[in-house]
Amino acid sequence: MNYTYLYKKLFLLSFFLLFTSIIFAQTTVVSGIVTDASNKQPMPFVTVAFAGTTIGGPTNNDGQFNISTDGAVKQIKVSFLGYKDAFLPIKQGITQVINVRLVPVANQLNEVTVTSGKKPKYRNKDNPAVELIRKVIENKEKNRPESYPYVEYKEYDKMQFSLTNVSPTLADKKFFRKYAFVINNRDSTTVPGKSLLPIFLNEKLSQYYYRKSPEKEKTIVLGDKNVNFGGSIDSEGLGAYFKHMYYKVDIYDNVIFLMTNNFLSPIANSAPTFYKFFITDTIAFKNTKLIELSFTPRNTADMLFVGKLYVTLDGNYAVEKVELNINKNINLNFVNSMRVDQEFEQNPDGRFHLSKSTTLADFGLTKNKKGGMFGIRTITYGNYAVNIPHPDSTYQHQELAESDEVKHKSDEFWKENRLDTLSRAESKVYKNVDSLRNMPSFRRTMDIATLILAGYKGFGGFELGPANTFYSFNPVEGFKLRVGGRTTPELSKRYYFETYGAYGFKDQQFKYFLSATYSLNNKSIYKFPQDYVRVSTQYDTHIPGANLQFVQEDNFLLSFKRGQNDKYLYDRSYNFDYVHEFESHFSYHFSLKRLTQAPAGSLYFLNSVGNDPANVVKDLTTSEVGLSLRYAPKEQFYQGKIYRTPVPSKYPILSLDYTAGLKNVLGSPYGYQNLHVEVDKRFYLSYLGYADVTVEAAKTFGQVPYPLLDIFRANQTYAYDIYSYNLMNFLEFVGDHYASVNIDQHFVGFFFNKVPLLKKLKWREVLSLKAIYGGVSDTNNPSLHPSLYQFPVSSTGQPITYALGKTPYVEGSVGIENIFKFVRVDLVRRFTYLDHPDVSKYGIRARVKFDF
């Protein structure tokens, strides 16, 4: 047999069969109409696909569909939220018409009786709106820009603040006639029903780049234009604060930050638990058919939105448009109303990106008054591109400070590059504010306001203040007068000087402070990233254990203290500091310090040396070198010309401090080391508010007298101090090792909002717990080592300074904040060491805190 011939025949036959099957394969085409089985109405946006494949599409407005395939198929699948899926057999290779009737999931009643009474209870189960929002939640990660390997776009950010409903006759009054050019610049078209008088405007144009792997983002500021009110008003800091209130909204985040509060997003993972959802309409927007999904809070007092989402039904379940309104019933200060509108545009791949975001807020002292302020922040995105890689250099070396060139772009630049337009009134703001700034009457008014509100009086490049330290009193110094001031960046961005002089009429001694700072990066020392050296000297009084992080002891209001308060120190110090911050928000602080401490008032330094059992020590001198490391990832600031305040965030702040005492250096008799570690973090707890948690620990190595140990932070004023123990006496506890935890929980009205009267008052609940555990080792126990300073005792010989035992010091408080919108009052309870002299089990403390 000729096998070669047979193989050729079999090969040709196989090839012929394969070729004919390809040539003569027929297409399967299915068309038809989908209707609701209960009312026979056509159903748009129903998904029709060949079962087991991704081939298919939605029905049109008339419920019609037409799908086709060349593959092997046996069924079509028809599905829509709230209806039972339908599987229907089809014939392969032919064109056919199949009409489909979908049956709702809920059982249908043969008879419906309409009666008055309660509305049907809202349920998530078998609710098509809830099923739709769960699809949006399920797909939200892929709809975020970060799902692309590369993203880039231009961003135009416009922030405007206006006075609202200013009387049109105000400019006719004698006092205001000179300001008529400002008062008459009104806008009555941007916000219907509002007459806006723009007084603040900031524009910023940026280029943004994002790379997913390795993840890196970079923003290049192309232009930044701001009104300039002069030295009395920090326009830059004002703009930074406004933008923090009007934070950028990402609808795909679980939590949306606005007005210093956290709102649960309507597409957060837990949104169906806290929101009610309703399918209210189908619309056409930008040539796309969308489902209108309305939502409202289950509890109207919670930090939630009211509004609408517009969702695509193309399988991506993306948000193409959103309207967010702050519910008028929530516990929010000074905000009459607030709304966020966002629009999205379609990418070439069918997905959507944010194209415009507008946040509007109406502010007022009360909701009934017509006047107030109105803020509008509009962010427009252009030149959006995805999956375009760039060299590594594109994503590196983020510029953290803006150059003068960026801040002085020409009018032609802004006309050519704005991605949005200015209204007629907005276009006049810059010129109007410039004219206003040059008016002597306006400058005088601003100087007076700055002195009252900020405590400083400006004189060009120098400020006198702060005013609240001009006068104070204490048992050691008696009446104390003080005057001081500081230079500002208007004098120099490289050189800064700060000083004060003070005099106590009881101790009849002069005190002083003088510092000189030099910026190494030619940028303000108050701005990120810091890079400066400072030398300073000071001679003043100090309370051992007092916490002075954010206030000065000379503050008049803190002169009022409870209990015995006559143990002071005279501190004379010489300091050298070098501070350097990096782009990553890691920083280090190197310091050299020589300090001489002399007891004052009833405080004394006493040891037993040689044959003298009561040897009085005049003063204690130490020389120290220190290194502090700090890491605060993604930290942001309220940034001003001569201040910066960190903005709390969800990211932890890690600190490590090391101090070494230098024995026999500049008269220091002690050598020792101290190590301190601290972690600070804010935990956002959704509808339960937030908790500020601080955990720290410290250890002193070496033998030292008690003034060089850790004197635990105490507070004998009537002000509530977040960072101190408010029922602990000054100098009550010392230790050479300790660990502590501090929890400050803010419920932002979660419980009070459910009580009608408290809800109307807009009070908010707060809870705190503070505990510290530690002690003094045998090495530093003065009862075991007579050469060490003895712990102080009272005039009757009773101990007043202790080491912690096996029991930690614990105190807690329950309080109410937002009283009159800015006062917090706590009932503080001390739980341990109640047998110590002059201590209280309970105390009432108050704190002033401005918040929204």
CA gap 834, 732 in Å, rounded: 12
- What is the per-residue pLDDT across 690-716, written as a single tens digit (0 to 9) for each? 999 999 999 999 999 999 999 999 999
CA gap 52, 735 in Å, rounded: 71
Cβ neighbours of 271 (radius 10 Å): 20
Which of 478, 499, 356 has the alpha carbon at shortest distance from 421? 356
- Give pLDDT, residue 444: 79
- Consecutive H or E run containing 15: helix 3-23
Sequence length of the chain is 852
- What is the per-residue pLDDT across 500-524, written as a single tens digit (0 to 9) for each? 999 999 999 999 999 999 999 888 8
CA gap 305, 292 in Å, rounded: 16
The three-state secondary structure class of 690 is strand
Predicted model pTM: 0.76
Which of 715, 747, 745 has the alpha carbon at shortest distance from 830? 715
CA distances for 787 relative to 402, 597, 670, 698, 819, angstroms: 57, 18, 12, 24, 52
Q: What six digits make up the tokens of 807?
A: 């029991």
- What is the per-residue pLDDT across 722-747, written as a single tens digit (0 to 9) for each? 999 999 999 999 999 999 999 999 99
- Give pLDDT, residue 418: 93
- Give pLDDT, residue 331: 73
Residue 717: DSSP 8-state = B
Q: What six digits make up the tokens of 380?
A: 């427009």
Q: What phi-psi label fits residue 315: left (phi over 0), alpha (psi between -120 and 50 degrees) or beta?
A: left
- Give pLDDT, residue 46: 76
- The residues of the chain scoring below 70 in pLDDT are 1-26, 45, 54, 60-61, 81-82, 105-119, 231-235, 237-238, 286, 365-371, 399-401, 453-454, 547-560, 609-614, 639-641, 852
- What is the per-residue pLDDT across 356-400, written as a single tens digit (0 to 9) for each? 999 998 887 666 566 688 889 999 999 999 999 999 988 887 766
Q: What phi-psi label fits residue 737: left (phi over 0), alpha (psi between -120 and 50 degrees) or beta?
A: beta
Contacts with 528 (C-beta within 8 Å, 6 or more apart), sequence order: 400, 401, 581, 635, 637, 639, 644
Give the 3-state secondary structure percentages of the chain, helix then strand then coil, rounded to 5.
15, 45, 40
| Phi/psi at 111 (5° precision) | -140, 135
* pLDDT cut 70: percent of the chain above it: 88
Cβ neighbours of 514 (radius 10 Å): 15
Contacts with 361 (C-beta within 8 Å, 6 or more apart), sequence order: 245, 246, 259, 335, 337, 338, 339, 374, 375
In terms of C-beta density within 10 A (0-12 exposed, 13-18 middle, 19 or more buried), how is residue 26 classed?
exposed
* Crossing angle between the packed helical segments 429-437 and 440-453, to the nearest 10 degrees: 90
- Give pLDDT, residue 366: 64
CA distances for 297 relative to 226, 264, 327, angstroms: 38, 10, 8
- Give pLDDT, residue 153: 95
CA gap 430, 291 in Å, rounded: 43
Q: What is the CA angle 769-676-623, rounded to 5?
A: 130
